[in-house]
Structure 1
Amino acid sequence: MNKKLVTLIGMVIILIGGLFLSGCGTTVSESADDKIVVTTTIGQIGDAVKNIGGDHVEVHSLMGPGVDPHLYKAKQSDIGKLQEADIIFYSGLHLEGKMLEIFEKMNKEKPTYAISDSIPKDKLRKDAADNTAMDPHVWFDIDLWKIALEQVRDGLIEKDPDNKEDYIKNTEKYFAELDELKAYAAKEMSMIPDEQRVLVTAHDAFNYFGAKYDLQVMGLQGLSTDSEYGLADVQSLVNTLVDRNIKAVFVESSISEKSINAVIAGAKDKGHEVSIGGELFSDAMGKEGTEEGTYIGMYRHNVDTIVEALK
């Protein structure tokens, strides 16, 4: 065989071998950088997973700003995110009531956690209209929320034991920030006069919050926005506003203002002026990239808005 041809063939073989090894090296590197893919329902859980998981997780939340989890039905794209996830965290206590069958199915395929179910039942608040149902809005009691988030920490550790120490340290750091938030909220809420300590909203999402900071909470709808309200409910709330001379009510970012506007109009018909004290975040957080798009920022916003309107 021609020497030049042999030399050329040898060079080609070396080149191909080098490219192959280089390709193998890239694959190994990319594999080493793989993150745990986590899918959550509400933003409050998604934000907590980001804080606890840190650089080890990639988080996708199904329900963004303005989305009502009580009424939410999974889209086809959501099913894809759930199937692609390595681990799933949702609230539980029937908050995502229309998705329970999906979670039951996913639980057979991969780790799927209803984090609020880890809270002792004697610490939960019951539905006044249904003694067998529990109030799912536990994130408004920071102490209870921390119990639920321990399930996030433990779930990540079980899935990724190699990074156990990071998950523990991240949780301790985040919980310290939550303790600071709790102290801030208690100090600010104490500024509201006794006669004005009534929080009127569209639905009963703030009962844990009210119990924590000594507020009477009144919602036009029940614990779930799936429940109906009627003229008698509106009139009862109007009478309370007039009798107690309450000047402000609040709208929620994930619920139409229609119901609260009906209450304001009813009070006006009785010669009592009521204004909207501001918008609160109840079942959904604010836009991503804003302070209100984080759990701590959302909570502080609610505290500041309520205090400013009622004090």
Structure 2
Amino acid sequence: MLRVGVVGVGMMGQHHVRVYSELAREGKVELVGIADANFERARELARKFNTVPYSDYRGLVKEKLDAVSIAVPTSLHKDVALEFIKVGTNVLVEKPIADSIENAQAIINAAEENEVILMIGHIERFNPAVLKLKEKIDEGLLGKIVTISAKRVGPMAARIRDVGIIIDLGVHDIDVISYLFGEPVRTVYARAGNVIHPAGVEDHALITLGFNDGSGIVETNWLTPHKTRTLTVVGTEGIAYVDYIDQTLKIYNHEWIREAKIERREPLRNEIEHFIECIEYEKKPITDGKAGLHALKVAIKALESARTGQVLEVE
């Protein structure tokens, strides 16, 4: 049975704790402990989910876990991940992989050198509606894909951020659109600005992604009073609409309208189960370090494009 832990139990980390706790009750893992600089918060969740709290993640490093979820602020990803990787712990790092290309590459290199599984928490890849859409695209139901557009907007969450909306939220759809096209992003053009974000970083953006024979558009902001998470795929044989939140997929063509039969399931549960499966069977995660690095590269290029007004190539 895998011995697991969670570092960072804020907005996203608390859900990692909950899912691991569910898996522990099912006899699939042992939730050894959780860590957070806010020890009261860690202690509260530890009591709720029957595990051990730590005020310093290094206490969990010493436990030499089989697996750990890292859900700390982006600027801390590299330092925390490397500590666990060096002792042979497999790591699931919440998106984005890191706050810079150099730090992301350092995590990837360390994971390869220490032969551990590195997975990045691009959760929308595990959304049942996205998985069904990818299946239908690969079957050719929509014909040749021409454009994919995503809208990820909503009110500003009450949590501290050390990055703007492009890296915090934009990476979700950058990753998904690249996944659906089945190729990396080639070029980026972005417009972005700041209205209310206290740190002075961008809180709204429109990003255009160039592929070999298609285009992607990501609209994202922290200004809209209600949350919207949608995806539209236009192909030569039809158009598909996905609602990430409701987990629905509707496909239209010239003759009919179809709604896919989708078994709703928590994407995070799917993600963590995939992480565990990769460890147990020594499989490569579908959202590995390379995928995380690509999404980050594109996001950083989008920031540069917003500053310069230029269309930029992605390596």
- TM-score norm. by structure 2 comes to 0.32
User: Which has more strand, going by share of residues?
Assistant: 2
User: Which has more helix, going by share of residues?
Assistant: 1
Which structure: larger Rg? 1
- TM-score norm. by structure 1 comes to 0.32
